[in-house]
Amino acid sequence: MNWEIEIVLFICLLIAAFVSLYVKNLLTAVITLSVFSFFSALIYVAMGAIDVGFTEAVVGAGITGVLLIIAIYRTNRRSSD
């Protein structure tokens, strides 16, 4: 139905995923992972699964980012590999 919006969102999803994989600063990786989660929530909503998209937006972009930032705060900020 609205396949153009889905293709644009999917390209943004891929960009966020690759940035979050290859960046050295782990704080940037967490933020781009939240962006990835938000775009996947938008894709769920565009495909009609509003409940799944709501859950993904609340958990992925809200709670997971905070917990990962605490994990970085307790360890090192730079990736070693």
Q: Which residues bind other proteins (CB under 8 A)?
A: 50-51, 54-55, 58-59, 62-63, 66-67, 70-71, 73-74
19, 30 in Cβ contact below 8 A? no
Output the smallest distance, CB 5 to other proteins, in A: 19
**Comparison of 18 and 28: residue with beta carbon closer to other proteins:** 28
Could you tell me the smallest distance in angstroms from the CB atom of residue 42 to other proteins?
Answer: 14
- Shortest distance in whole angstroms from residue 18 CB to other proteins: 28
